[in-house]
Chain A
Amino acid sequence: MKHIDKVLIGASVAISIAGIGTAIAGNEEFDKPTISAKTMADALHLVMDSDRTIYTRKIVNRLVKKDKVIKASEHFEDDKALVLPAQMFRFGSELVAKRAEKLADVNFSYSLQSLWPINKQNAPKTDVEKAGLKYIAENKGKNYYAKETLGGKTYFTAIYADTGVAPVCVSCHNKHKDTPKRDFKIGDVMGGVVIRIPMGS
């Protein structure tokens, strides 16, 4: 009986060690880089763009334009209204920045910018941002990729066109008090999503 106990204990220890070993080996495999910074940025943009599209179509447009039960407003708290799709996008990016600060390996950032920003803080600042936003506005359907150094760190920066797809996107921007451009049309590139991924140390 005692021997059976010992055999069982020994077997348990062996299985545990083997399990941990497999787990470690698995982690090593998981840590190996399999996609490029460009693919990573493209994937991130796909998620961001899809989420925003769903929010715009299935929440904002449905409730505001079809069901007509609530407003969407830049001043959503005072107006007791839905946040605008662009604000939803920005709040997401701020939460990512807060969370990613603690995760060195996934420390990326993103923002929505424009050559004609309503909020001037969303105008391009770096040379890459300026060149990239100009490029995507002049070359419809194309993305812009570049490397840049900011604050002593090197980043892979990807810029994707943000196009006015719904009438409400265009009319709201054209009417806004602080807009520098009032003649957007549906299909125009109104700005761009800038994704920045650190490249090594």
Chain B
Amino acid sequence: MLNERKSKRSRLLWIWIFLSLGLIGWLAFSMFEASDKTIFMPGPMTSGHHQIGIACDACHKDPLPDGEVFQKACTHCHGDDRKKPFDSHPRSKFTDPRNTETLENINAQQCISCHTEHQPDMTSSNGLTQPQDFCIHCHADIADDRPSHKGMEFNTCNSSGCHNFHNNRSIYTDFLVKHLHEPDLLSRQTVPEREFSKILEELTDYPVERFPFRKLTDSDIDSPAEKSLDVVQHKEWLDTAHAGSGVNCSACHEVKQSDSDQVLWIDNPDHTACARCHNLEVERFKRGKHGMRLAVDLPPMKVVDARLPMKKEAGHEELGCNSCHSAHRYDVQEAAVDSCLGCHADEHSLAYKSSPHYRLWQKEMSGDAVAGSGVSCASCHMPRINYDVNDWMSRIMVDHNQNANLSPNEKMIRSTCMHCHGLGYTLNAMGDKELIKNNFNDKPAVEIKSMELAEQDQKRAEQESLQVQEN
């Protein structure tokens, strides 16, 4: 009886050992070898990263990462956005020995000191975790230098877009003063012209030898006989800037194999084909929510994966270049409005077609107004910006990272609103949540004090100068 009990206990012990070893082995495999590591995810992802939640390696480059590993991961995707237009708190500021004591309050050398993932309870509606008291640790005495700031609460620094840790000088005092008393609508109301076609010859990475600039005709078409286009596609292609500037069928459909000289015909080219000439646009697309899955080698995002309200019928659409720029036609006007509204169904998007902005767009499309005077979805969310192509040159391009100027929305002030509106009106509009919901279908109902404070500060300085001169 005793032996039988011992034997049973021994069997149970072995089963427990085998199960434990199996569990340890499975966890070790999941941690170090498996591609799907979501079993270890400590909490839900923020809205900024949820699409790439399965690609744990994108941030956790090391199974047991430290702050520096995360830092490299953050700057790999967000580094450029932090630098432009101006980095107010560069890392070098905190490596200076005279500032070491400021690091005792907040380690401002690392993004994760303020921005944390997997913490939904700490995440605000814009998808960002951000402590409210980070300014006061170093700037508690600001009211001594700026009397206008006396009595302001410590958690109001970034209200109304006044201050942004990363680009603190985007709307600095002198800029506000320069734009005091501007009318709601400026006399010039157009967005900048795109420059891609104008400076093609200067772009060092444009494959000009393969696609010399010349207008192609029917007889130039170079697709294999069995792959020839139908009549509609043929006409669509001939009408594009592609055919107008020497970009033949083979440019997009033929891919040279990396391990041989063999050239393969691809029926449905993806973003990599576009990137051969539009590398910058594709790279920016991959930085935004539309294309971020492609940046970490995941399949394209589907509309159904979005957390924002979307049209149900569009749920299974995948997001690539051709989702908005339909293949062969590459209609940039369609991409600027209809493509967006084909999926987005939030209050702001649904109100667009009854907005004054849309009426301006219709006028431009019907030829009743000058080019660049219409306001499409893309005018604001994929604005034409002067972007640094490399260290030595820049060009006006459509920023295909539609998140770049979205949050906080004050980032939109310079890149978008100020092409047509005065700064004071713009600040008020960006601060009016109801107005944003109804897509600017009225005048702003809130008044942001920034312009008033800047004017007061200017008068104070003028008074001080005058007193010194009199003495």
Taking beta carbons and an 8 Å cutoff, which residues of A are in contact with B? 74-75, 77-78, 93-95, 97-98, 101, 109, 111, 120, 125-126, 129, 150-151, 153, 155, 174-175, 177-178, 182-183, 194, 196
Contact = CB atoms under 8 A, between A and B. Distances in A.
Interface in B80-101: 85-86, 90-93, 95-101
Contact of B97 (A78, A150, A175): A150
Contacts of A177: 173-174, 457-458, 461
Contacts of A94: 90, 92-93
Contact of A109 (B96, B101, B174): B96
Q: Give chain B's interface residue range (CB within 8 Å of chain A).
A: 20 to 34
A178 B86 CA distance: 20
Interface of B: 85-86, 90-93, 95-101, 145, 172-175, 457-458, 461, 464-465, 468
Contacts of B457: 177
Contact of A129 (B93, B95, B98): B98
Nearest to A109: B96
Nearest to A176: B461
Contact of B175 (A75, A95, A174): A75
Contact of A183 (B92, B145, B458, B468): B468
A39 to B, nearest CB: 21
Contacts of A194: 98
Given A75-B172, A177-B173, A177-B458, A182 B95 contact: no
Contacts of B95: 97, 101, 109
A98 B92 contact: yes
A154 to B, nearest CB: 10
Given A120-B145, A177-B457, A97 B174 contact: no
Contact of A155 (B92, B97, B461, B465): B97
B167 to A, nearest CB: 12
A182 B96 contact: no
A75 B465 contact: no
B458 A98 contact: no
Which of B91, B98, B101, B175 has the largest number of chain A CB atoms within 10 A? B98
A177 B173 CA distance: 10
Contacts of B96: 97, 109, 111
A151 B174 contact: no
Given A94-B90, A177-B174, A178-B145, A153 B97 contact: yes
Contacts of A120: 145
A175 B464 CA distance: 9
A11 B280 CA distance: 55
A78 B99 CA distance: 29
B92 A175 contact: no
B461 A111 contact: no
Nearest to A99: B92
B174 A75 contact: yes
B103 to A, nearest CB: 8
B261 to A, nearest CB: 40
Nearest to A73: B174
B101 A182 contact: no
Contact of A174 (B86, B90, B145, B468): B468
Which of B95, B97, B145 has the largest number of chain A CB atoms within 10 A? B97
Contact of A151 (B100, B458, B464): B100
A151 B86 CA distance: 28
A126 B91 CA distance: 20
Contact of B98 (A77, A95, A126, A183): A126
